[in-house]
């Protein structure tokens, strides 16, 4: 089908969403071509695309189609199936999350949905904590405001590895057509949609608190500036810092859950422009460190006081500092496990590996993508051949404990 025919099919569809219909009516030829020249791709990280009308966009129809495919993939398992669903602060995130829950209910799958936004690592934790068979996270991570995305997780709270993604793509391919209509749920199906309570928040926070190696260390002379970049990490980070007693200054302009990311040039802690306001706050308050997380709370960036100014650390540097601290403390306290292993990716620098070797910790390299690290962790959990002590990648993603299987800021 050519682009014009696809366009007219969408424009004249009897159940077309009104906002999308208006967008279609206002499209010029260039916009039509970009919106319809291909289907939105479901790749190794799920879907991530510009929001809008068309087959090459993220919208309620492409989300429904992906969800039916993922649901049918999960239903290959015999017996009851359940899924956890969370979402970040982006445009349409809440709508896509609830639409996913309704589609899953129509397929007989129980869902556990958050009523308000949560981080990606908490979604990973929730899958594991509630013994779900999979998870959906509606997020486009640190991409610009025009984007949203759809990430899928396995029963271990790990993003699907390629072999599993192929199964989802196969199921999506069986559907045909562009439109999955909104399901009309029976009363019994409606009961399959459950909302997650505060007890999961508390369970996650308690696990995070256990990470501390020196909880009684004085924090009186250490000041932190923190920015969530308008994203999901504000609440969990604030709760955590209040519990542990850090003197924290919050970048107020970036603490609103704003899908337009109005007060940051770029919501990506890998980019120096994300720290402009944070460093201004740090200079005014003489802070020791600036911490920045991306909108879905899985990446962490650090700027440290360096003389009279602040220097942004790379992901490789931050990972290496964490490795030195964690492994040195484990060794001093006599809590280093037998056969310890650390994971990083093939594009990560060798510095962390050199440090780990000094503490008798083996390093294993994986392909790029934290799903491969999560998969390695699960493999050794089952085989018990080695014990995980740390995982990281150069793109500002780190994991200290295995109660989460994705990077966790």
Distances, alpha carbon 32 to alpha carbons 38, 143, 179, 180, in Å? 11, 23, 18, 21
CA distances from 108 to 38, 87, 99 (A): 31, 22, 14
Distances (CA, A) of 157 to 153, 356, 376: 6, 26, 13
Q: Which of 93, 100, 106, 141 is catalytic?
A: 141
The percent of the chain in helix, strand and coil, each rounded to the nearest 5, is 40, 20, 40
Separation CA 316–CA 397 (nearest Å): 10
Nearest Cα residue to 360 out of 386, 379, 381, 378 = 386
- CA gap 63, 76 in Å, rounded: 20
CA gap 314, 112 in Å, rounded: 36
Element spanning 247, H or E: strand 247-250
Going edge to edge, which strands form the sheet with 110-113? Answer: 47-50, 147-153, 134-138, 82-87, 110-113, 193-195
Could you confirm whether 383 is annotated as catalytic?
A: no
As a whole number of angstroms, the distance between CA 123 and CA 121 comes to 5
Do the Cβ atoms of 99 and 63 come closer than 8 Å? yes
| Radius of gyration (C-alpha) of the chain in whole angstroms | 22
Residues ≥6 apart with Cβ < 8 Å to 50:
57, 58, 146, 147
Q: Which two tokens stand for residue 318?
A: 């931050």
Q: Which DSSP string do the residues of 320-354 spell out, in sequence order? A: HHHHHHHHHHHHHHT-PPSSEEEEEETTS-SHHHH
Decide if 279 contacts 307 (C-beta within 8 A). Answer: no
Residues annotated as part of the active site: 141
């Amino acid at each position: 089908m050519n682009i014009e025919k696809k366009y007219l099919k969408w424009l004249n569809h009897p159940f077309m969403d009104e906002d999308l219909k208006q967008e279609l009516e206002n499209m010029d030829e260039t916009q039509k071509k970009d919106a319809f020249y291909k289907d939105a791709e479901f790749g190794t990280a799920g879907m991530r695309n510009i929001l809008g009308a068309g087959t090459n966009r993220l919208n309620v129809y492409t989300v429904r189609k992906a969800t039916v495919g993922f649901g049918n993939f999960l239903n290959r398992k015999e017996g009851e199936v359940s899924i956890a669903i969370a979402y970040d602060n982006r445009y349409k995130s809440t709508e896509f999350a609830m639409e996913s829950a309704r589609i899953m209910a129509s397929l007989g799958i129980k869902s556990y949905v958050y009523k308000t936004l949560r981080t990606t690592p908490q979604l990973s934790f929730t899958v594991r904590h509630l013994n779900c068979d999979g998870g959906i996270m509606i997020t486009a991570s640190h991409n610009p405001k025009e984007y949203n995305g759809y990430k899928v997780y396995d029963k271990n709270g790990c993003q699907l590895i390629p072999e599993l993604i192929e199964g989802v793509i196969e199921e999506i391919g069986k559907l045909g057509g562009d439109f999955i209509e909104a399901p009309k749920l029976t009363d019994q199906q409606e009961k399959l949609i459950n909302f997650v309570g505060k007890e999961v928040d508390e369970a996650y926070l308690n696990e995070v608190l256990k990470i501390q190696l020196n909880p009684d260390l004085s924090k009186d002379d250490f000041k932190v500036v923190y920015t969530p970049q308008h994203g999901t990490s504000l609440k969990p980070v604030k709760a955590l810092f209040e519990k542990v007693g850090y003197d924290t200054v919050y970048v107020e302009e970036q603490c609103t859950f704003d899908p337009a990311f109005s007060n940051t040039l770029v919501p990506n802690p890998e980019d120096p422009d994300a720290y402009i306001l944070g460093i201004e706050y740090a200079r005014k308050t003489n802070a020791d460190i600036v911490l920045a997380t991306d909108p879905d709370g899985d990446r962490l960036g650090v700027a440290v006081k360096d003389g009279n100014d602040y220097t942004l650390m790379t992901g490789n540097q931050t990972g290496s500092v964490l490795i030195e601290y964690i492994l040195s403390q484990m060794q001093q306290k006599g809590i280093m496990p037998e056969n310890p292993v650390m994971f990083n990716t093939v594009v990560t620098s060798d510095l962390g590996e050199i440090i780990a070797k000094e503490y008798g910790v083996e390093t294993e390299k994986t392909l790029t993508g934290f799903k491969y690290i999560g998969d390695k962790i699960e493999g050794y959990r089952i085989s018990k051949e080695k014990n995980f002590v740390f995982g990281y990648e150069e793109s500002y993603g780190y994991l200290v404990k295995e109660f989460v299987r994705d990077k966790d800021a």
